[in-house]
Amino acid sequence: MIDTQFPAGFIWGAATASYQIEGAWDQDGKSESIWDRFTHMPGKIVDGLTGDVACDHYHRWQDDVALMKEIGLQAYRFSVAWPRILPDGRGQINQPGIDFYSRLVDGLLAAGITPFITLYHWDLPQILQEEGGWASRTVSEAFAEYTDVITRALGDRVKHWMTLNEPFVSAYLGYELGFHAPGHTSREEHVAASFHLLLAHGLAVPVIRSNSPDAQVGIALNLSGQVPASSSLADRAAAWQSDGLNNRWYLDPLAGRGFPLDIIQLYGNPLEFIRPGDMDTIATPIDFLGVNYYTRKVVRSTIVPEAENAPREVFINSNLTDMDWEVCPEGLYNILGRLYFDYPFQNIYITENGAAYPDQIIANTRIDDPQRLAYLKSHFEAAHRAIAAGVPLRGYFVWSFLDNFEWAYGFTKRFGLTYVDYPTQRRILKSSAEWYRRVIAANAVID
């Protein structure tokens, strides 16, 4: 029997995000977010749907907390919607917004579930996009003000905070590729947004500490190993560049190493928006790094013609999720090990890991999801191996507690431990949730 007992005190949880589950997009004083604006534009979302209602968590949160308790979650990672708190992006506080999150935090604590809050999971107040959004330094400063308001309100009860979720996705998909809100297609805006997001993070850390004594403060990055398709120099160079774009552009400044020179040269951007002291602000020490891991990337050179490159040695396996992402638990082990040996972060949480599969209701009462269970089991085992190798992994949040709005994919992808029948908003625990309950109880990977 493989020992898969996790350390005492290891935290097992699940994660969501405000725009993806809350709904109530225009209720109780909340203003429009860039995702409200984006999803209301025709042709942006695969199924043409929006997060206007989503999982209606805003009204159903008490039942959802009861469901979290039934699964046995020890912690719950969720995000606060900035437009509920400061509808103008700054200034006037919307008390009903504060009250919603305060009630949710009290409900979680009463259920014995530790709240982990993400301050920004992509739903920027639209009014701030009007002044340039993350391409503007003024929004970094507004984020510090928003952080002050919400941490003053909740900082007595919430002791685990993440400033941002996946700044890479916000900046690259939102401002250069255009697949995410605000749907811009500018390399210059992407690079500026990546900097202003990191600056916002650095400005927010001391604010959190002053309003939430003894809090653990971190940031959640999407990280994935970039594996060369062959041992050719071209593929190894391509993989290193992809690692710089995806991983080092964020990891290095947070670790106090500044932006990676190879990527600055690739961008050809003199980064003139950086002011004296900004990089030190970004490198403000944090207590943990959150890792959102889903799969690895196999990188093939696009410069050397295929016929002139070495034969491929690394292939994507055929075990794909509904997102067409390769199931690769080894990739989780590798990224955690790389962080342990290459970076100074003293604590790591897996703040997202999970899989989408086309779940079906059986006899209207049950959902068997053996593929998701197998995915999670293999990744829990990889995490256990990483801990055994010395990685300071402190907890694991499954993405996601609920099926929810999967951004540009709308509701076509189901990541939840809990099935949501959207027309009725009925929640049904999947078999993976029942298995997860037993994993948590045992604090070990079980069959």
d(Cα 56, Cα 41) in Å, to the nearest integer? 21
Query: What is the three-state SS of 408-438?
Result: HHCCCCCCCCEEEECCCCEEEEEHHHHHHHH
Residues 289, 344, 146, 103, CA torsion sign: positive
Name the minimum Å distance from CB 369 to ligand GCO.
Answer: 16
Q: Which of 323, 120, 333 is nearest to 224 (CA)?
A: 333
Residue whose CB is nearest to ligand GCO in the complex, by number: 292
| Size of the residue set binding ligand GCO (CB under 6 A) | 11
Query: Does residue 176 bind ligand GCO (CB under 6 A)?
Result: no
Q: Which of 203, 215, 241 is nearest to 120 (CA)?
A: 203
Name the minimum Å distance from CB 372 to ligand GCO.
Answer: 13
| Of 22, 189, 326, 352, catalytic | 352
Q: Is 70 a catalytic residue?
A: no
d(Cα 264, Cα 179) in Å, to the nearest integer? 23
Tell me which residues in 371-430 interact with ligand GCO (CB under 6 A). 399, 406, 415
CB 64 within 8 A of CB 427: yes
Q: Is 189 a catalytic residue?
A: no
Q: DSSP letter at 44?
A: S
Q: What mask, x for binding ligand GCO by CB under 6 A, covers residues 217 to 256?
A: -----x----------------------------------
Name the minimum Å distance from CB 328 to ligand GCO.
Answer: 15
d(Cα 394, Cα 253) in Å, to the nearest integer? 23
d(Cα 83, Cα 93) in Å, to the nearest integer? 10
**Contact region with ligand GCO (CB under 6 A), list: 165-173, 336-344, 361-369, 381-389:** 165-173
Q: Which of 319, 338, 339 is nearest to 329 (CA)?
A: 319
Name the minimum Å distance from CB 391 to ligand GCO.
Answer: 21
One of 166, 359, 369, 403 touching ligand GCO (CB under 6 A)? 166
Tell me which residues in 105-164 interact with ligand GCO (CB under 6 A). none
| Of 166, 176, 189, 406, catalytic | 166
| 252 versus 352: smaller Cβ distance to ligand GCO | 352
- What amino acid positions are annotated as catalytic residues? 166, 352
* Binding site residues, ligand GCO, CB under 6 A: 17, 20, 165-166, 169, 222, 292, 352, 399, 406, 415
